[in-house]
Structure 1
């Protein structure tokens, strides 16, 4: 420190309940769109996800993502453990924290529940991509999976498209039935399916939100004009889509450097020569910025391959930190570093 300059030592903790009190869907969608735009227009400085493989099910890892946004006061990193089998035991699959730093002296100023933040930003990004790529009259959505992200995707996407019908598929039919009943109580026409091919036959939108190591969606099943959000697989060893899904679709991604290294079905299709990197349409943020085209016509199959990018976490974390300070939420602790 120079002269008489002193630093504050307060450090703000924002837990799951604090996020729930501060967040709502409009904010999540707004922050997701801003982050995707900044990913493509250069405002975000970030890198690909770094992972350390851990024992256990495929995809188990320690994950590190970091970013700085030129127009936000705080930069930071998200550190998560990813345990895909946690859902079967009643726990979240993504658990960890986002740590924030101020830009004047690099002082850490906040710690935010990373699992809850990830839940909000992942579904919101899918909704933003769906608004950009799906047919405006899309009314029937298939969920392949029935966990937390399935629930969040219904909540977010139904705000941008007139969703009335839900088709639910999962490996446990009883759990799929229970999830469908929950959605019927919320006002949707929801049906559970034992056969995944039948679940997608009439779909306008398909969201794959599983922790599967092997494909759950086949390209041969895709109806004309459908939009697909592929969300669940975040490491190259796991994939929810077969190669036909890739070759039959126009493909957009959230962050091209990460898609080319971590999206298993894209990596496989490129390595085997079935597509080339230039066959990928580009980043969804570039569509939002008007730099590249989105859907060509009502018959085209569109695919948004989501991996989640650091800019999404840090954009939303900046909002949460500022809102918590403004509204007096969170817990202040002394943390002198």
Structure 2
């Protein structure tokens, strides 16, 4: 394989963009392990008292990730996120104003390639959580202010749902909460959408692990037909549903061919059923060369926030209520894609496929 190296005269601005994405990739691939190692070393050193004090704080703060988290506007406004945004670049586009007196569930599509462990929520919220949050559009738009979420949607606070396990890792949990990440547990989502005064946005990557196995450039297959847990909670608490489609998300990485029925796909499905997470074999570019690596390609991402679907609160929704609203959601999601696909590089013959 011929390796294409990056030229030496790359402008400083682009080098800073690459560095910003590199630290983001590192943050969700290795930072948790580093934080845990630091905590263990601290506990075994002469500074063990600091580890003990932090352990006490951790015990007192245990439920915060399931109670709205602890975001920091300062962290969300770091200049590094501007470089991160410009690397792709990422743009957040709203179609209508959203009433800040209501709570919302944003269904984020497509899921994109996973780079870390992902599991499913139990008891009804099947496969709606992010793990490593290495979904550039979701992170850039809803965990930072680089694309202007607070300006576009005044009065609303975005929360990106993430696997509960990561909020048990010392130090790392505090960092990810500062960006607006919260636990993807059922109680966490219920807390967000049950806020009486409104103003909360829970962002859920609906497709889950199975969809990540189909994520590759040009892919339009969404695992959503059997994802109804978030629909049930929307009905139970009267949260408004908003379909969100992120054009360009699947273009960030290549993935080995794994069609349904192939030996590779069979193995991936078996591993997913055993371990609870998908294992996509993906690649993109490196830091100093463009031929291979785990750095995403420089591809534009346009995240379109659709019109809200009005949901009447139904404390005990029936199966028929859930199915009816789910069909409405799928129709609105499909319409959102069809209305914008020509603008972002898709043609008349390309359509979403729901599985």
Higher strand share: 1
Give TM-score scaled by structure 1 length.
Answer: 0.27
Give TM-score scaled by structure 2 length.
Answer: 0.26
